[in-house]
Copies of this chain bind each other. A is one copy, B any other.
Amino acid sequence: MGDTGKQPLPRNKIIVGDCIEELEKLPAESVDLVFADPPYNLQLANELYRPNNSRVDGVDDDWDKFSSFETYDRFTRDWLAACRRVLKPNGSLWVIGSYHNIFRVGTALQDLGYWVLNDVIWRKTNPMPNFRGRRFTNAHETMIWASTGQKARYTFNYESMKALNEDLQMRSDWLLPICSGAERLRQDGRKTHPTQKPEALLQRVILAASHPGDVILDPFMGSGTTAVAAKRLGRAFVGIEREKAYAKAARDRLKSVETLDPASLQAAKGKRAETRVPFGTLVELGLLSPGTALYDPAARHEAKVRADGSIACAGAQGSIHKIGAHVQGAMACNGWTFWHYEAGGALKPIDDLRAEARQKLAS
């Protein structure tokens, strides 16, 4: 992958340096998840984050909006491209921003071939009011979640997100308080970092899009919320931060963070996570004998189990799914829940037998 001379991936470290330069030192395809909270002050971007850091700028007196956007766009493309190289093919990336910069980021993402999966709205319970009364209270920030491409098989812990939301699908709008109170880092009574993100936000991102043990990269580490949430949730982190003071604050903060015990980190599992049991195995294990009759819930159709794990119904024969779809005239069918067998005078789904088979196979 052209990684000659790259350093091995430093794990659980915060690197002090320019994010693009430091990203280029990391090995390709080594990171599972990126969370980025890039700067969005366009003028600052012009001064502080010029891609080629070696050139001292002295020509910014006459910069205008256009050149400012242009500089910001170049900067955005550079760090997004650098992240893309470092991401594993099935990794994914989150970026948070506001209307000042998020459109530039989203456009750059798409132009680079990232595939947007969702835009997620962080609704703040306690936003700063609009003091002048000339606009709507700016009560949210926008996150973009993207995979490395349209075909990528990214991680999404659907069941965990559903569990977090009382058994309803997690929506694209998240209500969470801003970072304040004891969680907010302070030095001499003043906040250490101007845009410290709440841990709850990062925890949800990490729970949604990574597994325990994964490596999470934050190219704009700041006060270290990403690293804190990653450590707490049993993930490894790599942080990049150009300000020594922020890096130090983050390191200090990490010292008191404990990783949760593995049992607490177990993710809610759905059927997808279960081991696959082909229907034929039920026959092989003797849970269902060849010749047994299967019925749909209304007992309108009857099919016979055959020794090879196919079923036959009214002249047609094939898998439980194919025949289930066929008798309904449907495009597809989950035969496990469609077909039932008779037990004690009642019809029970063959899915029950699959559970039995799983137990037998596990022991």
Contact = CB atoms under 8 A, between A and B. Distances in A.
A23 interface: no
A3 interface: no
A125 B360 contact: yes
Interface residues of A, number: 112
B158 A133 contact: yes
Interface centre among A107, A275, A291 (most CB of B within 10 A): A107
B275 A263 contact: no
A113 interface: yes
Given A111-B66, A203-B284, A290 B308 contact: no
Contacts of A69: 110-111
A256 interface: no
A265 interface: yes
Interface in A261-299: 261, 263-270, 275-276, 278-281, 283-286, 290-291
How many monomers of this chain does the complex have? 2
A39 interface: no
A185 to B, nearest CB: 16
Given A164-B278, A265-B306, A285-B177, A136 B331 contact: no
A121 interface: yes
Given A171-B127, A306-B265, A308-B207, A116 B100 contact: yes
B360 A177 contact: yes
Contacts of A119: 98-99, 102, 142
Interface in A166-204: 166-173, 175-177, 200, 203-204
A271 to B, nearest CB: 10
Interface stretch (A11-19, A220-228, A315-323): A315-323
A158 to B, nearest CB: 4
Interface in A331-360: 331-333, 360
Contacts of A285: 177, 200
A52 to B, nearest CB: 9
B165 A280 contact: yes
A136 B118 contact: yes
A307 interface: yes
Given A263-B291, A266-B306, A173 B176 contact: no
A310 B169 contact: no
Contact of A135 (B156, B159, B361): B156
A153 to B, nearest CB: 10
B268 A140 contact: no
B307 A207 contact: yes
Contact of A166 (B109, B166, B278): B278
Contacts of A266: 306, 312, 317
13 contacts: A65-B110, A103-B106, A121-B140, A136-B170, A137-B169, A163-B310, A167-B322, A177-B361, A233-B307, A261-B291, A263-B312, A264-B290, A265-B290
Given A138-B172, A166-B321, 12 more contacts: A53-B333, A69-B111, A99-B106, A99-B118, A99-B119, A103-B103, A118-B136, A118-B138, A121-B173, A133-B270, A167-B322, A207-B308
